[in-house]
Amino acid sequence: MMNPMQLKHTAAVLADVLTFRQPADAVVSAYFRRERKLGRQDRHEIAETVFAAVRHGQKISAVLPRPHNQPRRAALAALVLGRSVNLSALADVADEEDMAFLAEVKARKSEFSGSLNTAAELPQWLIDTMRADGFDDDAVLAFGRSVVQGAPLDVRVNTLKGRRDKILAALQAEGLACSPTPYSPWGIRFADKPALNKHPLFLDGTLEVQDEGSQLLALLTGVKRGQMAVDFCAGAGGKTLAMGAMMHGSGRLYALDVAEKRLANLKPRMVRAGLTNIHPQRIESEHDARIGKLSGKADCVLVDAPCSGLGTLRRNPDLKCRQSADSVAALRAQQHSILQAAARLVQPQGRLVYATCSILPQENEAQIERFLAENPGWQPRDCRLILADNKIDLDTGVYLRLNTAEHGSDAFFAAVLERS
């Protein structure tokens, strides 16, 4: 249970987080680096309450205008609304006025269910955008409710170092609550998010933290031994590593990204995974002249495009307040440009996979429709058939459309295109 010291630190973090000027996880991490005396349990209580405040921000804002200016009250409201703490348990941290405020919060719970903003815990800009993209209010509400809780921990088994069934049995023998992911043949899901960063199977590269949906994106590339492949927006390289394992460490796999820091983080992970076929390369943009040397040579190119990230709200709940209709419009222009540039690298009969972790058709299906209209000679491949070839029973149509409520993963979209 939260004590007065933890509440003080939580309020200090929320005063910054609730301005939404920076990513919430970055603010929390920076604060913990400064406050080195905080113990493990302190950090857990503070982080859980901060993210509960973000997840339940619409309700908190309804009773507490400009909550970043009243971060202590916001923290208390988060304990009640987001962490289901009884008022009686807060007697040591809340004064009489606080308790009166919290009683009002509880009394307004039925009112919250009558408004779409507070019932779905989504800001108005996002509700309007989803409606414009064809979502009815029931679908908006279902989406909001599916992402209001935190995500479980998914990991991918590096098939160069072990088999999932044996690794799963070993983890369960240690007393860890885990199970196979329902779709990815490489995935294991932990119910209670244990700290794995010092586990021997993590340190030796047998396990990599990766959401199941992200694992399926790598699988859709169909990349094989000895081929040349490109991860066009590699980031920290989770899908790059999965593709490298699919290639059995052979061939050439280029990991391209504009962020040097993210690519630098990939290098030690490559070593742990035992992969020597990956070639990280920083580029200035999708128009970088150095990309030209790969033109028409790749068997497969994966484009996990920059996007709104709205499919990852379980992990990054602040995105719903940090994005906007204008930022989504800017991302759409960038997505189109990147997709066009990436397509030039694919050889005849090669494969191009376009993916986002967005729920919005304007970032997904609309981009593919535009690309196909502007680029004759490309045909969509049916994702259902590719998955079935890998003994995965998952039917979301020609395109892969994962949603949290139905599939239990982050929400992802993917289209597989082949060049004639």
Just list the catalytic residues.
357
Enter the tokens of residue 4.
């007065």
Enter the tokens of residue 234.
């590699």
| Residue 50 · residue 14 · CB < 8 Å | yes
Q: Which residue has the tokens 């919060």?
A: 105
Closest CA to 367 of 342, 394, 395, 397: 342
CA 186, 190, 194: angle at the middle one, nearest 5?
Answer: 125
Cα-flanking dihedrals φ and ψ of residue 351, to 5°?
Answer: -120, 140
Separation of alpha carbons 319 and 282, rounded Å? 26
The strand order across the sheet containing 187-190 reads 178-180, 187-190, 153-157, 207-209
- Alpha-helical (H) ranges within 37-191 are 40-55, 57-63, 71-81, 96-107, 109-113, 116-120, 124-132, 137-146, 164-173
Cα-flanking dihedrals φ and ψ of residue 371, to 5°?
Answer: -60, -45
Separation of alpha carbons 390 and 128, rounded Å? 38
Report how far Cα 97 is from the mean position of its chain's Cα atoms. 39
Going from the C-alpha of 180 to that of each of 214, 238, 301, 389, the distances in angstroms are: 15, 19, 28, 19
238-246 and 260-273 helices, crossing angle to 10°: 40
Q: Which residue has the tokens 């943009």?
A: 285
